Amino acid sequence: MIGIVDYGLGNLFSVKKAFEALGNDALITNDPDAIKKADRVVLPGIGAFGDGMNYLKEKGLDEALTEAVIRQGKPFLGICLGLQLLAETGEEYGTHTGLGWIRGRVRKIDVKSSGLKIPHIGWNDIALRNDSPLLDNVRAPKDFYFVHSYQLECADSADVVAITEYGEIITAAVQHGNIFATQFHPEKSQDHGLQLLKNFILWTP
């Protein structure tokens, strides 16, 4: 069973449908016990960093995630805001403390020199920086769908699996042990996204 964390922010049903299209059961839940019992955990999300963390804490989901992912070592997939919340801090509407699973901070995308607008919305190629089984068989041009105004600036480059460019270098995907997360939306990224989700289903970190 794949547990999809419901904390009031995100395309939960599109993520669920993507997994079901691949033949896998997925449960949308805000029950901490259900998260602890899930075989794999997915944290999607669209919205503000502080709002996301506040809801996780109010519902006890931050502790449930820590138990399932950090202590039990279950495979974890973060999507969009679900990637950003892994950071130590987020700088959206003030400074907020994140889950702290990936060293680094979430800051606004710097587009001053490029003249580009934010949010960054649309299809972008990604470039691989480190190997990951979750990107196996994802062939060039590796085009994925992004919607975001902030990005995770990792303290350790070894955590960065893929990048893209939008006014500057953007962290597109990270991996640290059993933790994998994407700034883009695999559930909206057609064949490439479905391949990534299939890889996640088969992943044994």
Q: Residues with catalytic annotation?
A: 80, 185, 187
Q: Where are the alpha helices (DSSP H) in 103-171?
A: none
Q: Where are the alpha helices (DSSP H) in 71-172?
A: 81-84
Q: What angle do CA 151, 153, 156 make, to 5 degrees?
A: 145
Stretch (H or E) spanning 132: none
Q: From CA 39, how far away is CA 147, in angstroms rounded?
A: 28
Q: CB neighbours of 59 closer than 8 A, spacing ≥ 6?
A: 7, 30, 32
Q: From CA 146, how far away is CA 183, in angstroms rounded?
A: 7
